[in-house]
Amino acid sequence: MAIQAGRNPQAFDGLVNTPVCRGSTILASSLEEWEARKLPNNPYASYGRFGTATTRALESSVARLEGGHASLVFPSGLAACAHALLAVVRSGDHVLITDSVYGPTRHFATHVLSRLGVEVEFYGPHETTGLRSRLRRNTRLVFVESPGSLTFEIQDIGAIAEQARTVGALVIMDNTWATPLFFKPFEHGVDISIQSATKYLIGHSDALLGVATANARAWDRLREGAHDLGQTAGPDDIFLALRGIRSLGVRLRQHESNGIALAQALRAHPLVRRVLHPALPDDPGHRLWRRDFLGASGLFAIELQPVGQAQLSTLFSRLQLFGIGLSWGGYESLALPVGTPTRSVSQPALEGPLIRIHAGLENIQDLIDDFSQALSAARLALS
Ligand SMILES: *Cc1c(COP(=O)(O)O)cnc(C)c1O
């Protein structure tokens, strides 16, 4: 499906890939054709802001992979998250958001949604069964992310969706970690699923995009709001996402095996206090991960033993193969100290610094050797 979805060589002179189609004005050849173009759900859009053939190729491709009704492209993953929230709520609503949500999504909710008269409440990522007591008659949506940002808790999405349905709330999921290949949100009761395509879909750290996919129930809400706000994205970046999807399957398998092998190797190092990776058998989320997910991506975290800033600096100055920087999902490995994650009701008990690691596509022994020697250098600096 990842190879076929969104491709139509016959429509483009036999070209394997849907080309970069640029355009704002779209000309009609008659008044009748013009009238037809303006109808809702017309496959031929009336204006470039609604996307060109390149846009539609990505939207149909992600919709099929996620297993949803239809998708919309956004200029970034955060724009897709913010828009999905805005599209659903009105003043006076109550929304439940996982405490482990991606930081900027939390910031949007507490700063923008609150200002619009929406009551924002956070629930702990382990609260699956206790969620019922937080649901109200005016709860409009539950926003889930699994595994959680920085702390990697796995949630029982099916159980959450079942409870949300009892008050008529929609479930929105940030599915960026697993990608549509390793978690099928609509089979677990999700109504809107979001990808930061900046990560694994684009996969090469050279563009930003987001995609939101809805089921039939939520689609009209999602689409109308997006068009009202003028959301759109350029065809060159969209082309890069389409290109990335073709190799997503093989890349993810390599990220997965590198991530698990690196996590296991680092756990054995004396400077590492804990590894947060749901694919490791003793992780608290492992049972749910095995039940619901089809694989793991390359992103996880380690907690070090208590060390000072100087030791942390030694660690990062010794790393050769791990870049220090935001984002992830590209072919290259990254490591970043993430401080104390912002939480409202589920503060993790941390004794040492938390480091987020993205395992790239490098040779796994090279990655293990590099991180291990840097940890050992930091440990020596400690004594
Ligand atoms: C990176 C990220 C986003 C935001 O994506 P951008 O394209 O950087 O705006 C949203 N959610 C998660 C889980 C992410 O990792």
- Say if residue 73 is in the same domain as residue 178: yes
Kind and range of the H or E element at 173? strand 170-174
Is 49 an annotated catalytic residue? yes
pLDDT of 382 > 70? The answer is no
Spatial CA neighbour of 156 closest among 294, 343, 347, 289: 289
pLDDT for 253-297, tens place per residue?
Answer: 999 999 999 999 999 999 999 999 999 999 999 999 999 999 999
- Say if residue 128 is in the same domain as residue 207: yes
- Say if residue 187 is in the same domain as residue 324: no
- Say if residue 46 is in the same domain as residue 107: yes
Domain that holds residue 239: 9-246
Tell me what pLDDT residue 102 has.
Answer: 98
- For ligand 1, residues with CB inside 6 Å are 76-78, 81, 102, 149, 174, 176, 196, 198-199, 208, 210, 327
- Say if residue 240 is in the same domain as residue 311: no
Residue 367, classed as helix, strand or coil, is helix
- Say if residue 113 is in the same domain as residue 241: yes
Out of 246, 261, 279, a domain closes at 246
Ligand 1 mean position, distance from CA 244 (Å) = 17
Is 253 an annotated catalytic residue? no
- Say if residue 193 is in the same domain as residue 298: no
Ligand 1 mean position, distance from CA 212 (Å) = 12
- Residue having the nearest C-alpha atom to atom 6 of ligand 1: 77
CATH (domain of 312): 3.90.1150.10
Q: Has residue 1 been placed in a domain?
A: no
Tell me what pLDDT residue 383 has.
Answer: 53
Evaluate if pTM is beyond 0.95: yes
Tell me what pLDDT residue 42 has.
Answer: 67
CATH (domain of 226): 3.40.640.10
Q: What is the mean pLDDT of residues 15-31?
A: 95
pLDDT for 48-92, tens place per residue?
Answer: 999 999 999 999 999 999 999 999 999 999 999 999 999 999 999
Q: Has residue 2 been placed in a domain?
A: no
Q: What is the mean pLDDT of residues 344-349?
A: 92
- Say if residue 177 is in the same domain as residue 297: no
Is 273 an annotated catalytic residue? no
Residue 227: pLDDT band with limits 50, 70, 90? confident
Q: What is the mean pLDDT of residues 121-129?
A: 88
Total domain count for the chain?
A: 2
Is 199 an annotated catalytic residue? yes
Q: Which atom of ligand 1 is nearest to the CA of 208?
A: 7
Ligand 1 mean position, distance from CA 145 (Å) = 11
Q: Has residue 325 been placed in a domain?
A: yes
- Say if residue 121 is in the same domain as residue 255: no
pLDDT of 41 > 70? The answer is no
Between 166 and 381, residue with greater pLDDT: 166
Residue 222: pLDDT band with limits 50, 70, 90? very high
- Say if residue 274 is in the same domain as residue 145: no
Sheet architecture: strand order including 70-74:
70-74, 210-214, 192-196, 170-174, 139-145, 94-98, 119-123
Ligand 1 mean position, distance from CA 315 (Å) = 26
- Say if residue 321 is in the same domain as residue 355: yes
- pLDDT > 70 in the chain, percent: 98
- Say if residue 200 is in the same domain as residue 254: no
- Residue having the nearest C-alpha atom to atom 2 of ligand 1: 196
